[in-house]
A and B are shown apart, each in its own frame.
Chain A
Amino acid sequence: GENVEQHPSTLSVQEGDSAVIKCTYSDSASNYFPWYKQELGKRPQLIIDIRSNVGEKKDQRIAVTLNKTAKHFSLHITETQPEDSAVYFCAASGIAGGGNKLTFGTGTQLKVEL
């Protein structure tokens, strides 16, 4: 089955700096890669996703890049703000056909310091 590894496990940045979180996946059939933000005690929130037919997607201060050859994808957050502090999870799944179960990474605790 799919295996997703995520690094780093914790990341501390100064407000206004950029943050980068990296994930690798094992199953070359995976073609959908979402990122979730989870604040303490709250539900995972889908913040951005990318499908394998594109290499990069941007939404305001967040962007995701995908390298299918190397089987890795990354989340980039620019101009970080204190409200960006949370745990971020990457995930991978296959879109076509049957179930789209997500395989998640182990999470990155992002702390944005003033």
Chain B
Amino acid sequence: DTGVSQNPRHKITKRGQNVTFRCDPISEHNRLYWYRQTLGQGPEFLTYFQNEAQLEKSRLLSDRFSAERPKGSFSTLEIQRTEQGDSAMYLCASSPRDRAYEQYFGPGTRLTVT
């Protein structure tokens, strides 16, 4: 499968714990996006990278959230001191250099905070 991949697919954690998710974009896609989707809603933008540079962050991304894309390939999203309100599907998307507006999504990581 040459699509966007995300790991883990499911994560259950206790409130206050830290979690880290990984996204592997489609090969040679230089833009990478993180979104959050709650039940019954459309995805909401969190942040995006062009190569290794993080160029935009949503106000939804509190200081407990941090994202990296150290070599311009895979990306990680870390949530520190998780809260029940962080429970959601975290989606990653990537887009190609020549069609930067087309975003292709991964299967997501479903986070449940107990």
Binding site for B on A (CB under 8 A): 4, 6, 32, 34, 36, 42-46, 49, 51, 89, 91, 93, 95, 98-107
Let me know if B48 and A99 touch, CB within 8 A: yes
CB distance from B92 to the nearest CB of A (A): 10
Shortest CB distance B101–A (Å) = 5
Residues of B at under 8 Å CB distance from A? 3-4, 31, 33, 35, 40-45, 48, 50, 55-56, 58, 91, 95, 100-108
Please indicate the chain B residues that have their CB under 8 angstroms from the CB of A105 in the complex: 42
**CB atoms of B101 and A43 under 8 A apart:** no
Q: How far is the CA of A106 from the CA of B105 in the complex (A)?
A: 17
Minimal Cβ-Cβ distance residue in A for B6: A43
Q: A44-B91, A100-B101 are in contact. Are A106 and B107 (CB under 8 A)?
A: no
Contact of B106 among A43, A91, A101, A104 (CB under 8 A): A43
Report, nearest first, the 8 A-B pairs whose CB atoms are least far apart.
Answer: A104-B42, A101-B45, A43-B105, A99-B56, A44-B105, A43-B107, A32-B101, A95-B101
